[in-house]
A and B are shown apart, each in its own frame.
Chain A
Amino acid sequence: MNITQINVTIAQMLDYTTPILFAALCGVLSENSGVVNIGLDGIMRFGAFFGLLGAYFSHSPWVGLLLGIAVGCAVGALHAFITIRWNGDQTVSGVAVNVIALGLMTYLLEYIFSTTGYSPQLENYFGAQAYRVHLPFLAKIPLLGALSNLSVMIWLAFILTIVLHVLLYHTVLGLRMRTCGENPKAATTLGINVFRVRWFAVIAGAALAGIGGVALSTSSFSGFSDSMPNGIGFIGLAAMIFGKWTPFGAMGAALLFGTGQIVQSIIAVTGIAPNLAPGLTLILPYVLTLAVLAGFVGRSVAPAADGLPYYKEQR
């Protein structure tokens, strides 16, 4: 395995990690304020399709990104409306979002592009050379060389991880968000408007899931496929739990899952275990997810009021 191959493999791993990380960050933001959003898989699907749509018709992935964010926010607002304004069950609302996303995107794909399965391919997408972040001075350094030619979306995911960490643990808003997620009643007694904080967290989180979708269709791939996001939203949720509801923890988990995704190419490149059935390596990330959820990594404690509706006069 030579240096170029290693660099390519690492870059590929980061590429796989990115949408998982966006999904996980969505979960981290939303659940730290106390709202579970399992609809984030569906929101990614919205983001993936509308990201493609914007990029396709404007010939600029940036427009796709903005559209993906906008649609993510809109769907997030729907989830917030149901679960915060009307205290609807958060799981039911999330499942509804997923189901709507499934049907609606398939329909829109056929309706707008008259195709099934795949959208037309993009020429201008974040994965294209023209939209990559070129850092030639890194190219010759082993390992870091992988970072010399990455999609802007990959950088965005890691930058937002840091931003989210700072937001949650070093800002006033973050402290208040966590208070709402741990004990909304206490937050109320401190004059914190629990509803407003939760609305913000859910919508901002949904925007991240929307970006994750855009990253799939305009960065990792150059088009929308009807199978997107392929359960990546749920893997993101697992990464969030694995990472104990913290941004950096979620990032570590997402990197692990991303590595799981490229085991196949590592095997191909290095030539170890050539007879391993490709299907087996494909399920590796899911096996990892299950292992994580089964408590393999030790206890991971959710915010105390995570997933619970809140009424002001409750006791």
Chain B
Amino acid sequence: MKALEVREVSKMFPGNLANDRISFSVEKGEIFAIVGENGAGKTTLMNIIYGIYTPSAGTIFVNEKEVKIHSVEDAIRLRMGMVHQEFMLIPRFSVTENIVVGDEPRKGIFFDYTRAVREVRELSERVSLTVDAQATTGDLPVGIQQRVEILKVLRRGAEILIFDEPTAVLTPEETADLFVTMRKLQEEGKTILFISHKLKEVMEIADRIAVLRRGKLQGIVNKKDTNEEELARMMVGRNVVLEIPKLDVPVGDVAFACHDLHVKNSRGYEALKGVSFEVRGGEIVGVAGVQGNGQDELVNAMIGFSRPVSGSMELNRKSMHMVTTAQLRKEGMSYITEDRARRGLVMPYTVRDNAIMGQHLNKPFSRGLRMDYEKVAEFAEGKVKEYDIRPGDIYDTAGSLSGGNQQKLILARELSLPHNFLIASQPTRGLDVGATEFVYGKLLEEKKAGKAILLISLELSEILGLSDRILVMFDGHIVGETTPDKTTEEALGLLMLGVGIDRKVQS
């Protein structure tokens, strides 16, 4: 039986046809993947099915009956659930509140918080997505917030589940756990729509795969009859090379160094327990580690968001003690963040304004008290072309871009700021294969230009492919240092989990 079918569905945004007569059907109990470039229209299509957007044309069938989905309430009534690409969480709420709101355990009109906490704990144990049910959601690293999002949907027990890039910020282990859960759901007869840019994952979990390109359905293939290369070609329209060439660049001067750095997290717990390393010009230093082992705190201290408890940091051999973020930027630090919404962009502002933020006081964009918007627009136009930010109108708000295009915008801005030290925190989060290839190219270009780069990523293939040296973080310590030719994904994975660590290595 067909659990879900869309026929000739289109969605028109002002000046932008995001979905163009898309038709497909999904069998009950099937895992159906949807892939496509950034901005291809995947999220839009899912939002239509889930009742958030009203389609401009087309019909939807659930269990082979035509349905009108005017609102999310309708979708929920039809037993659908969706994990959204952008977090739909309230930072101030506890994890439990976020998971149960909208479908609360109650006693009469009262909200039964105790039972809610219990339910959340049970669920999280059952599907092995560990969360602290009582923690304040906003304090958690993005990977854990992602788990909260997934738990939210699993708890509601829907028949048709939509996962819009749930794995973008998960570690390989977490992804594996999620896949186990998805398989279990499949066995229970649930239907799953799954979106990811990681073609390896898609090949692992999906039964059939639909490829979208610029709003149109390119085709639907059986997993058995295809491979990653073919999918990438269908998506992008050309061959994609994700092989990263080895590049030997003479190592330059120390750009960043820290010594015995201790940093507390927002809850006052010491999350970085004495870390020392340096990054030199012309070298990419990768930081591997499971989320929540001190990476966030390290970055926060480096960019001047939090003050270390003790220890020292130097940028270009100048002490960073009591220095503001603005001064650090002036001194040559750039920062690509994985938290697009809260740190990377001002969503209601235009692409143009976001593109020059941080340089807005410099010439030629500012002339004394006056902004030279012609120069700003010219600059932004250039960046939009260079980085292929779609749809390409610099007067669109950053918020209206697809996730991957938002990421490209951040990249465009940070790499165009004058800098010699780059912190790249999950720079390819949510990017399609073509864009990932592009980012790798850009990072290597940076390296060739003699810039120092600290790369923090959950993607071990990325760490292994790009880094000259790899630091492994575990529980607030750097528990190992290695080079890509001396290690493997498996060995790194074990080290990241703290297996077999010789405590003496910890400095």
Contacts and interface: CB of A to CB of B under 8 A. Distances in A.
A193 interface: yes
B88 A183 contact: yes
A191 interface: yes
Contact of B90 (A174, A179, A191, A313): A179
B52 A188 contact: yes
Contacts of B76: 191
B251 interface: no
A183 B110 CA distance: 22
A58 B166 CA distance: 64
Given A189-B82, A315-B399, A175 B104 contact: yes
Interface stretch (B95-103, B315-323, B361-369): B95-103
B507 interface: no
Interface in A168-191: 170-176, 178-179, 182-183, 185-191
Contacts of B91: 182, 304
B89 A313 contact: no
A198 to B, nearest CB: 15
A165 to B, nearest CB: 13
A169 to B, nearest CB: 8
Contact of A190 (B54, B72, B111): B72
B90 A172 contact: no
Interface of A is mostly: helix
Contacts of B97: 175
A187 B416 CA distance: 37
Interface residues of A, number: 25
Interface string B19-56: 00000000000000000000000000000001011100
Interface residues of B, number: 30
Q: Name the residue among A186, A187, A312 with the largest chain B CB count within 10 angstroms.
A: A186
B68 to A, nearest CB: 16
A172 B111 contact: yes
Contacts of A174: 111
A133 interface: no
A192 interface: yes
B218 interface: no
Given A189-B84, A191-B72, A313 B102 contact: no
B159 to A, nearest CB: 15
A87 to B, nearest CB: 15
A208 B113 CA distance: 28
Contact of B101 (A171, A175, A313, A315): A175
A313 B73 contact: no
B88 A186 contact: yes
B340 to A, nearest CB: 13
Given A176-B101, A183-B90, A312 B52 contact: yes
Nearest to A303: B92
Contact of A170 (B50, B90, B92, B110): B110
B271 to A, nearest CB: 23
Nearest to B13: A313
Given A186-B89, A189-B50, A313-B53, A172 B72 contact: no
Interface string A185-229: 111111111000000000000000000000000000000000000
A171 B109 contact: yes
B93 A172 contact: no
Contacts of A312: 52
A175 B91 CA distance: 14
A189 B88 contact: yes
Given A179-B90, A313-B52, A315-B400, A187 B102 contact: yes
B238 interface: no
Contacts of A186: 88-90
Contacts of A179: 90, 93, 101-102
Given A185-B88, A190-B72, A170 B111 contact: yes
A313 B103 CA distance: 23
A104 B354 CA distance: 47
Query: Which has the most chain A C-beta neighbours within 10 Å: B76, B82, B84, B102?
Result: B102
Contacts of A304: 90-92
B106 interface: yes
B37 to A, nearest CB: 18
Nearest to A193: B73
Contacts of A315: 397, 399-400
Contacts of B103: 190-191
Nearest to B72: A191
Interface string B69-89: 001110110000010100011
B417 to A, nearest CB: 26
B73 A191 contact: yes
Contacts of A175: 97, 101, 104, 111
A188 B72 contact: yes
A112 to B, nearest CB: 41
Among B73, B101, B399, the most chain A Cβ lie within 10 Å of the Cβ of B101
B93 A182 contact: yes
A88 B226 CA distance: 52
B211 to A, nearest CB: 24
A70 B400 CA distance: 42
Contacts of B93: 178-179, 182
30 contacts: A171-B109, A171-B111, A172-B104, A172-B109, A172-B111, A175-B97, A175-B101, A175-B111, A178-B90, A178-B93, A179-B93, A182-B90, A182-B92, A183-B88, A183-B90, A186-B88, A186-B89, A186-B90, A189-B52, A190-B101, A191-B72, A191-B73, A191-B76, A191-B102, A192-B102, A304-B92, A313-B52, A313-B53, A313-B54, A315-B400
Given A182-B91, A304-B90, 11 more contacts: A172-B106, A172-B111, A175-B111, A179-B93, A179-B102, A185-B88, A190-B88, A190-B101, A312-B52, A313-B53, A314-B399
Minimum-distance CB pairs A-B, first 3: A190-B102, A186-B88, A182-B90
